[in-house]
Amino acid sequence: MRSLSIFHYRDRFFRRDTANEGEEEGTLTKADIAALVAEKGLTKKQAMEAIESTLDLVKKALKRGEKVQLVGFGSFTVRQKKARKGRNPQTGKEIIISARKVLKFKPGKALFQAVNAKGK
């Protein structure tokens, strides 16, 4: 039987799927974040609405081409990639890869240091 739970270990939160027992890495989902925010004094519904609103604002700003900077966390930018020539790996035929927008995330100094901290 599968069950999901959130657990805290060494200052990190993980979402555990008991069907995959033994895996060290976990996944922190939007619902998990809402549950953790709700522990700070909001209802789960209010926490989910706050998270949804925040993510919606970020999405709209990126869609307009604006840079989104969260101090201590990082910044999101949208870059334009030009059309280019490529090759179909199955047929070897040359194709044109159309121009597109790509998202770029640059971690902030505090996040980078937290992720790369030794001994924690």
CA distances, 11 to each of 7, 26, 40, 101 (Å): 10, 13, 16, 36
Q: Which fold has domain 65-120?
A: HU Protein; Chain A (4.10.520)
Residues 31-77: pLDDT tens digits?
Answer: 989 999 999 999 999 999 999 999 999 999 999 999 999 999 999 99
Report yes or no: 6 and 13 within 8 Å, Cβ to Cβ: yes
Report yes or no: 39 and 33 within 8 Å, Cβ to Cβ: no
d(CA 8, CA 19): 19
Average pLDDT over residues 8-28: 57
Ranges 21-30, 38-47, 92-101: which has the least confidence: 21-30
pLDDT band for 118, please (50, 70, 90 cuts): confident
Q: Where are the domains of the chain?
A: 1-64, 65-120
Say what the pLDDT of residue 20 is.
46
Mean of the per-residue pLDDT values for the chain?
84
Say what the pLDDT of residue 27 is.
86
Give phi and psi for 54, each to the nearest 5. Answer: -60, -50
Average pLDDT over residues 103-108: 96
